[in-house]
A and B are shown apart, each in its own frame.
Chain A
Amino acid sequence: MSPARPFSRQLQRLLLLGTLLLFALYFLTPLYVMLVTSLKDADQLRSGHLLSLPSAPTLDAWSKAWQSACTGVECGGLRPFFVNSLLMVVPAVVVSTALGAINGYVLSKWRFPGSETLFALLLFGVFMPMQVVLLPMSQVLGWLGIASSIWGLIAVHVLAGIAPTTLFFRNYYVGLPDELLKAAMLDGASFWQIFRRIVLPLSGPILMVTLIWQFTSIWNDFLYGVVFSGADSKPITVGLNNLANTSSAVKEYNVDMAAALIAALPTLFVYVVAGKYFVRGLTAGAVKG
């Protein structure tokens, strides 16, 4: 550190921190608004404005959102939907990640004529709008007999997840030195053995990235969830939508916000806790290309 101008260096640091904090405000404000609204009661909502702190914070809205708000004829809050989402998300994430890993492994280390083209084709698929999927998949799932069920929903999420997961794994594995595999093959290792013994153990970071990404996309999805699920397997986004988007009558914004925060808790938790693994995974080359 040059001793020449410590003051300007301090100024630079201050500017740096100031800028960072300003942006932090931009990022935090919506969350703050939601939190603060969810802690107010009906009267406090009417007085005050959206940034004002609750004069008498209460958790009533939270308890109502969890167990007694109406989401249709049922008035059981978000609790039943929470379980449905979990039951649907876990298999979908696991299967799509597994498929992505295998695809990525082959496309990066076992290239064959046309593999790059196939990869590019898959990559382009990432731009297809979700609405295009709805009707034809309904037809297909109807033929397969799994329409309007949790299995149908899981199937759609797995299929839609193949493109992004393959992208992540393939880009990461490309960074693994080929020598490792060559050495293993000289030792007589088979295709699967190389995968299990060498590639997989090195996949920690990218596994984290993919799992987090898939978990977030699938947990937050509404469109597939409302169209492909059955009466007993509706995910939490559907419940939240019913709770908050009522087309008539009194809007209880505090309950809406509490419900929205409840729906966001798992993914928020994942990002806050696993966030550093996420970045570590990216550092290790997830998207170096």
Chain B
Amino acid sequence: MSSIPASLIGLGVAAVLGLSGAARAGEVEVLHYWTSGSEAKATASLKASLQAKGHTWRDFAVAGGAGDAAMTVLKSRVVSGNAPSAAQIKGPSIQEWAREGVLASIDDVAKAEQWDSLLPKVVSDAMKYKGSYVAVPVNVHRINWLWINPAVFKKANAKVPTTWDEFFVAAEALSKAGVTPLAHGGQSWQDFTTFEIVALGLGGPEFYKKAFIERDPASLAGPTMEKTLETFKRLKAYTDRGANGRDWNLATAMVIKGEAGMQLMGDWAKGEFQAAGKVAGKDFLCVAAPGTAKSFSYNIDSFAMFQVKGADKIKAQKDLASAIMAPAFQETFNLNKGSIPVRAGVPLDKFDDCGKLAAKDFADSAKSASLLPSVAHGMAVPAAAEGAMKDVVSQFWNADKMTAKDAMSKLVAAARTR
């Protein structure tokens, strides 16, 4: 009726909006293992965007072992009926959790924001269970990088290698110049990272897929694998004695200080160089690992959404998913973390040269089917098989008496672990 004053209508609308606003103030409890200074800054931006929407962020950080301790806590929480809203889970583990029936679908957010068109198919498939999104990707780390100290190379008269044969030539030159050719940390994930990079460089994406993702026994026990294992073992002579148990950042420090010439490591190594005040392209070089220039092996961190009760908690959870995919967050987070955005449409001008190169290669390899999940970082293979395979490779690296043939038969058995 026209007799209702506009002010009353205005009040009514405000009241309704206010009520729905109050219902929207939910709580998200987030389990993660980002506890260092730079990671804290990156995650804080996520917390801020959620708080802007009126939600509360309850932080549950558990450091250690790239998530080992966090997974223990997560299991206990789920068993006690008290799962967090979101947990930092990645790779096939997402599907394993989904199979237990404890994850929540965020398809409504995904469809509204058209995630399928923003993410490469390999990535979006990994975030889904039976066609529904149950997880959100945060970033992309590239694994197959070779980090080089150019000053050391110049002194040793060595050339930056693009194939594995060239690598050994450079390593010899570095060795003669009295420098450790390859900085390595003897931990099982680092051992396997090096191993899978060698496999990718020698066998190419097809071999990598057949051997590691499909875990085809013929590939795991074939001649290419034998060559890979032997090349891998050859590398050991070019690492130093103190490598065992060394953290990756201490290996990077060796390259920074000029005690070593090269390191095979993912793009988080860049953070170390930058923290020490080094400039990309001048004080350090990032090149694709030998033989892998056209391939991109990745590690994608993601948050899986658990089933929670209460309309406000569910709304908060969906807002979290949406916030993670927002371009602004993707830019801030990845600038701080040293990785690159996972979704298309994020401006890249603030990223450095290594980041820009990575982003370009990411897009290219997605098109040419050479975008590959890293086994060493839990992206390709279920945890039990991954652990068993890592055991074999680390044993092979450490035990002098194990032959490549032994290792191969053990790998086949390990790949079958359930």
Contact = CB atoms under 8 A, between A and B. Distances in A.
Chain A–chain B contact at Cβ < 8 A: yes
Interface stretch (A7-15, A140-148, A187-195): A140-148
Contacts of A72: 32, 34-35, 40, 43, 59-61
A248 B36 contact: yes
Interface string A113-142: 000000000000000000000110011011
Interface in B154-186: none
Interface string A214-226: 0000000001001
Nearest to B74: A227
B37 A247 contact: no
A231 interface: yes
Interface string A176-220: 000000000000000000000000000000000000000000000
Nearest to B61: A72
Contacts of A242: 35, 61-63
Interface in B60-76: 60-67, 69, 72-73, 75-76
Q: Among the interface residues A73, A226, A227, A249, which one has the most CB atoms of the partner chain B within 10 A?
A: A73
A249 B38 CA distance: 7
B327 to A, nearest CB: 21
Q: Among the interface residues B57, B81, B275, which one has the most CB atoms of the partner chain A within 10 A?
A: B81
A249 B36 contact: yes
Contact of A248 (B44, B69, B77, B268): B268
A71 B35 contact: yes
B267 to A, nearest CB: 11
Contacts of B250: 251
Interface residues of B, number: 42
Interface residues of A, number: 31
Contacts of B60: 72, 231
Given A71-B35, A73-B44, A246 B79 contact: no
A139 B63 CA distance: 24
A19 interface: no
B51 to A, nearest CB: 11
Interface in B300-317: none
Interface string B242-267: 00000111100000000000000000
Contact of A226 (B35, B67, B72): B72
B226 interface: no
B47 interface: yes
A243 B67 CA distance: 14
Contacts of A245: 35, 63-65
Interface in A69-108: 70-75
Contacts of A65: none
Given A142-B80, A226-B62, A245-B64, A73 B40 contact: yes
A238 interface: yes
A228 interface: yes
Contact of A139 (B36, B43, B64, B80): B80
A241 B64 contact: yes
Nearest to A147: B80
A56 interface: no
B216 interface: no
Contact of A250 (B37, B59, B65, B66): B37
B80 A71 contact: no
Nearest to A255: B37
Nearest to A238: B62
Nearest to B252: A250
Nearest to B43: A73
B33 interface: yes
Contacts of B82: 142, 147-148
B356 interface: no
B147 to A, nearest CB: 15
Contacts of B248: 248
Given A147-B82, A226-B62, A248 B39 contact: yes
B253 to A, nearest CB: 8
B379 to A, nearest CB: 16
A242 to B, nearest CB: 4
Nearest to A134: B76
A138 B249 contact: no
B319 interface: no
A249 B34 CA distance: 10
A99 B62 CA distance: 33
Given A73-B40, A135-B79, A227 B35 contact: no
Contacts of A141: 80
Contacts of B59: 72-74, 231
Contacts of B54: none
A92 to B, nearest CB: 19
Given A70-B36, A231-B29, A242-B61, A148 B80 contact: yes
A122 B44 CA distance: 48
Contacts of B64: 241, 245, 247
Given A231-B58, A249-B268, 11 more contacts: A74-B59, A134-B72, A138-B75, A226-B62, A226-B69, A241-B63, A246-B39, A249-B36, A249-B37, A249-B39, A250-B37
27 contacts: A70-B36, A73-B44, A73-B61, A74-B59, A134-B72, A134-B75, A139-B79, A142-B80, A147-B77, A148-B80, A148-B82, A227-B72, A227-B76, A231-B60, A241-B62, A241-B63, A241-B64, A242-B61, A243-B35, A243-B63, A245-B35, A246-B35, A248-B39, A248-B268, A248-B271, A249-B249, A250-B36
